[in-house]
Amino acid sequence: MNVLEIDGLTVALPAGRAARPLLSDVSLHVAQGEVVGLVGESGSGKSLTCRAALGALPPRASAEGSVRTVGDDVFALSARALRRLRSEKVGLVPQDPRAAVNPLYRVGDYLVEAVRAAGVPQAEARARAVTLLGDVGIREPERALRCWPHEFSGGMLQRVAIAGALAGRPALLLADEPTTALDVTIQAEVLSILLDITAQRSAGLLLVTHDLELAAAVCDRVYVMYAGRIIEAQPAASLFASPRHPYTAGLLHATPSLAGPVGRLEAVPGRPLGLDEAVPGCSFSARCPHVRPTCTEVVPDLVSQPGAGGIAVACLRADELRDELRRSGPGRADPDHPVLEEQPA
Amino acid sequence: MTASGPDWALEVRGLTKTYGEVRAVDEVSFAVPRGGALGLVGESGSGKTTTARMVVGLERPDSGSVRVGGTACDRPPRGRRGRLARARAVQIVFQDPYLSLDPRVRVTDSLEEVLRLHGTGGARARRDRVGELLDQVGLGTRERQALPRELSGGQRQRVAIARALAPDPDVLVLDEAVSALDVSIQAQILNLLSDIRAAREIAYLFVSHDLAVVRHVCEDVVVLHRGAVVERGAATEVLARPTHPYTRLLLSSVPRQGWDPAAIGRARRALDTTTPAAAADPIPTQGALQ
């Protein structure tokens, strides 16, 4: 069963406020128990897509297409039903827990409020908050409830925020850059909690990130966005070794690696399209090393590729470039790369 | 590493800074050769930014010494001449290009101001030099007359770099200078930094949490953990064969295929219990490495 189904979603601002739609024909799905990555650079539309799952669009934006979240058509819901969807059926994990958790409330008040909003009676709310804190691996949850947010480190507060997102036993978790504000060594821990919880509750997780390597490391499938469109969809296992869109390949090459040769990086020239820019044809054509004249005339559709794995690419030259884009040489997944050996305690 | 002489662009010895009871920087020593690049790696609270700020003279060390090109810069410079001399020796590029440029000053004016301050020739000479600097960082004619808000993050960081290069410093401190940029833009700026170093003799102190970036930019690396140096050496060597558990932890925390985030969590907790601060308080407070 799909807990999130976005079909042909186009979101546009009123005329004159942007030269192109914020999102163009975005289709994606997240199945129960599945971890799906949504990857793109700033302005690509990944956060907007994530928020559309909650029916939250920018003011005065118009939307076409459909969004079904945990069985509900979000654009058809009443305000009350939408509130229920947001508080009970979907959990949103924020990017920066310091901005998301009210610093003037104790952690317990924050969690009890979330639990109450999800329909749990007052009498049971506190006990449920304790359970939630335990679920996200906070030791001494009773004591933690009495603490203030400022008494927590960023990583611990992100756990509190995750606990808050779980208050309504959601079937879908939306995590928008959940570890970007955290130190690298904390990132792993917060992610492992998020992944464990998704697996235990067989919920679906949509992980929005700018980090292609992170997505490839923890997701089942990955969607790559560019200028408001999904330009590639692939199982994470194959995305890394054989990216099919020149942009994905460019991103992988531009990422500094911990193995292989050092020195100059293969940068992607130019910069992403702004909202005030619209180009005919493929929006990546101006930066693409494989561009052909037709690329600047025809907008490529996201085409499912024949064969296994549910691969889809929006590139006119997808077939020709297939072998060329396959990554050669040592990448980051180099087997010689030092991997942490656990030290005996 | 402690040999004194004109070969070092930057020499830092026994640098220590305490805030209250916290030793933010604890006896940190390193040296960067002329035209070399040293990566200063660590997480938040490791003392890397405090060290960088002491090097440029924005903070006063409790003890220890900073020498740039053989000249002592231990305390914040006094007077206009002192400040200008320090600025010609060391410049810094900050993380956030949205905050580090004056929003009301156009790109060319922003650079010209620096040149005027440092007494570069007449208006014409300054204009030529501004053009030269902007060419070097790859900014086109359209961007030159722009206000910062009209530029993208990568373009602003190019302006910040051009501004830092204007006084022709011996040492450029880059404090997480590419961390806020998108990957495709980050690669452009990293290549730009390599090009600049190839074109003129300038040394980088490259402060970053990103090991892969440091590996691409720097010959040497110093790993900081809770204010102290835990490992140092050639960047490729340290990152290929780390010896300190903290360096190993940092390295294994970088996501890659087949990555096991849960194992990293266990390793980090193991590392924490070996240091006294963490064991005492089961709910870690802000500032602890948690």
pLDDT, residue B70, reads 83
Q: pLDDT band for position A181 (50/70/90)?
A: confident
pLDDT, residue A297, reads 94
Chain centroid offset of residue A116 CA = 27
Report the residue of B44, B184, B197, B246 to disrupt the A interface, i.e. the one with the largest count of A CBs within 10 Å. B184
pLDDT, residue B278, reads 38
Q: In the predicted model, what is the mean pLDDT of residues A193-205?
A: 93
More confident residue, A272 or A164: A164
pLDDT, residue A333, reads 38
Find the length of chain B.
290
H or E segment to which residue A189 belongs: helix A184-200
Inter-chain Cβ pairs, chain A and chain B, closer than 8 A: 187
Residue type for A291, please?
Answer: V
CA atoms within 13 Å, Cβ hemisphere of A337: 22
pLDDT, residue A258, reads 87
Please state, rounded to an integer, the average pLDDT across all residues of chain A. 89
For residue B279, which of B44, B288, B229 has the smallest C-alpha distance? Answer: B288
Of chain A residues 154-173, which have a CB less than 8 A from chain B? Answer: 154-156
pLDDT, residue B139, reads 86
Judge whether residue B271 has pLDDT over 90: no
Whether B196 has its CB under 8 Å from any CB of chain A: the answer is: no
SS3 at position B88: helix
> In chain B, whose CA is at the least distance from the CA of A258?
B212
Chain centroid offset of residue B79 CA = 25
pLDDT, residue B190, reads 93
pLDDT, residue B274, reads 59
**Using the beta-carbon criterion (under 8 Å), do A332 and B245 form an inter-chain contact?**
no
In the block, tokens 């609270």 appear at: B45
Instruction: Give the model confidence (pLDDT) of B96-143 as tens digits.
Output: 877 888 999 999 999 999 999 988 778 899 999 999 999 889 887 778
pLDDT, residue B285, reads 36
* CATH code, B109: 3.40.50.300
DSSP B38: E
- Please answer whether residues B46 and B225 qualify as being in contact, where contact means their C-beta atoms are separated by less than 8 angstroms: yes
- Please report, for chain A, the start and end positions of each structural domain, with discontinuous segments joined by +: 2-223, 242-328
Whether B179 has its CB under 8 Å from any CB of chain A: the answer is: no
Rounded Cα distance, A9 and A27, in Å: 6
SS3 at position A35: strand
Instruction: Give the model confidence (pLDDT) of A41-64 as tens digits.
Output: 888 999 999 999 999 999 899 999
Asked whether residue B24 is domain-assigned, the answer is: yes
For residue A164, which of A105, A203, A108 has the smallest C-alpha distance? Answer: A108
Whether A187 has its CB under 8 Å from any CB of chain B: the answer is: yes
Residue percentage of chain B with pLDDT more than 90? 54
For residue A182, which of B213, B268, B278 has the smallest C-alpha distance? Answer: B268
Asked whether residue B179 is domain-assigned, the answer is: yes
Per mean pLDDT, which range of A95-109, A211-225, A259-273, B258-272 is the poorest?
B258-272
Residue percentage of chain B with pLDDT more than 70? 90
Instruction: Give the model confidence (pLDDT) of B157-174 as tens digits.
Output: 999 999 999 999 999 999
- Please answer whether residues B162 and B113 qualify as being in contact, where contact means their C-beta atoms are separated by less than 8 angstroms: no
> In chain B, whose CA is at the least distance from the CA of A219?
B257
Angle of CA points B216, B239, B192, to nearest 5° = 10
> In chain B, whose CA is at the least distance from the CA of A148?
B285
Taking phi over 0 as left and psi of -120 to 50 as alpha, with beta for the rest, A36 belongs to: beta
Q: pLDDT band for position A328 (50/70/90)?
A: low
More confident residue, B252 or A229: A229
Give B-chain residues touching A237 at CB under 8 angstroms. Answer: 257
Judge whether residue B287 has pLDDT over 50: no
CA atoms within 13 Å, Cβ hemisphere of A125: 18
Angle of CA points B234, B236, B240, to nearest 5° = 115
- B100 φ/ψ angles, rounded to the nearest 5 degrees: -95, 0
Give A-chain residues touching B152 at CB under 8 angstroms. Answer: 271, 274
Judge whether residue B27 has pLDDT over 90: yes
Q: pLDDT band for position A300 (50/70/90)?
A: very high
Two structure tokens written together for B202: 């300038």
Rounded Cα distance, A152 and A160, in Å: 9
Chain centroid offset of residue B187 CA = 17
What are the helix (H) ranges across A13-150?
46-52, 79-84, 97-100, 107-117, 122-135, 141-145
> In chain B, whose CA is at the least distance from the CA of A337?
B240
Angle between helix A107-117 and helix A122-135 axes, rounded to 10 deg: 110
Q: pLDDT band for position A330 (50/70/90)?
A: very low
Rounded Cα distance, B71 and B88, in Å: 12
Rounded Cα distance, B103 and B148, in Å: 6
- Please answer whether residues B40 and B53 qualify as being in contact, where contact means their C-beta atoms are separated by less than 8 angstroms: no
Structural domain harbouring B184:
8-289
Contacts of B111 by beta carbon, 8 Å cutoff, 6+ apart: B130, B133, B134, B159, B162, B163, B166
Per mean pLDDT, which range of A246-250, B165-169, B254-258 is the poorest?
B254-258
- Please answer whether residues B263 and A343 qualify as being in contact, where contact means their C-beta atoms are separated by less than 8 angstroms: no
Fold of A2-223: Rossmann fold (3.40.50)
pLDDT, residue A329, reads 39
For residue A230, which of A78, A36, A96 has the smallest C-alpha distance? Answer: A36
Taking phi over 0 as left and psi of -120 to 50 as alpha, with beta for the rest, B27 belongs to: left
Q: What is the dihedral of CA B2, B6, B7, B11, to 10 degrees?
A: 40
Q: In the predicted model, what is the mean pLDDT of residues B55-75?
A: 87
Q: In what order do the strands lie in the sheet with A23-31?
A: A23-31, A2-12, A62-69, A72-73
Contacts of B150 by beta carbon, 8 Å cutoff, 6+ apart: none
Whether B154 has its CB under 8 Å from any CB of chain A: the answer is: yes
Q: pLDDT band for position A345 (50/70/90)?
A: very low
SS3 at position A4: strand
SS3 at position B64: strand
In the block, tokens 């009495």 appear at: A146
**C-alpha dist (Å) from residue A178 to A24, A112, A220, B194:** 25, 22, 17, 32
- The complex scores an ipTM of 0.84
Chain centroid offset of residue A200 CA = 20
Count how many domains chain B has: 1
Please state, rounded to an integer, the average pLDDT across all residues of chain B. 86
Instruction: Give the model confidence (pLDDT) of A115-157 as tens digits.
Output: 999 999 999 999 999 999 999 989 899 999 999 999 998 889 9
Whether A42 has its CB under 8 Å from any CB of chain B: the answer is: yes
More confident residue, B77 or B182: B182
Whether B234 has its CB under 8 Å from any CB of chain A: the answer is: no
H or E segment to which residue B229 belongs: strand B228-234
Instruction: Give the model confidence (pLDDT) of A13-43 as tens digits.
Output: 998 888 899 999 999 999 999 999 999 988 8
- A121 φ/ψ angles, rounded to the nearest 5 degrees: -60, 150
**C-alpha dist (Å) from residue A254 to A57, A230, A267, B104:** 32, 20, 5, 33
> In chain B, whose CA is at the least distance from the CA of A241?
B257
pLDDT, residue B6, reads 53
Q: In the predicted model, what is the mean pLDDT of residues B24-48?
A: 94
pLDDT, residue B273, reads 64
End-to-end CA separation in angstroms for chain B = 32
Judge whether residue B286 has pLDDT over 50: no
Report the residue of A145, A185, A255, A262 to disrupt the B interface, i.e. the one with the largest count of B CBs within 10 Å. A185
Asked whether residue B3 is domain-assigned, the answer is: no
Angle between helix A184-200 and helix B245-252 axes, rounded to 10 deg: 50
Q: In the predicted model, what is the mean pLDDT of residues B164-192?
A: 91
DSSP B190: H
pLDDT, residue A332, reads 38
